[in-house]
Amino acid sequence: MLIGLISDTHITEKRGELPQKVFKEFKNVDLIIHAGDITRKKVLDKLESICTVKAVLGNNDKLDLNKTEILEIEKFKIGINHGTKYSSDFDKLYKLAIELDVNVLITGHTHKPHQKIIDNVLLINPGSSNRPIKTDASIAVLNIDKSHESVGDIGVDFIKL
């Protein structure tokens, strides 16, 4: 299963649209996960024109979304949380993943992409598609196959926009 990851879009009336490259890179994904700070429902509507979208509430959102979602895909439990309280502290992100009882934790908030495995827990932040901080704008694509036995087998590709 291919899963598109996006976060921190921060689209407003003054701050334009999603980059067209997002639609190009996500055209073959089976699911899109938005890790919060969406700011406008039209962002989710546009992403849903590609495929199903699962999204969580970010600290700048006023949308009717949960703060955390948990999905089961193949052999993995995937947690989605904006990460406002945990930011880029990998120990705190790992503890949140353990608290949620997930193998993979997808967060946003820092506007910087990262990927790290701690004790067979995969921590991923796709970065920001529209407002990067001290890095390039980015998204990510996960490849989870039924043959994957551990989180180390999961493919994660970061894409600069």
Q: Which domains does the chain have, with CATH numbers?
A: 2-160 (3.60.21.10)
Q: In Å, what is the CA distance from 121 to each residue of 17, 61, 101, 117, 142?
A: 33, 27, 10, 5, 15
Q: Which residues contact 99 (CB under 8 A, 6 or more apart)?
A: none
Q: Give the predicted TM-score (pTM) of the model.
A: 0.95
pLDDT tens digits along 40-97: 999 999 999 999 999 999 999 999 999 999 999 999 999 999 988 777 789 999 999 9
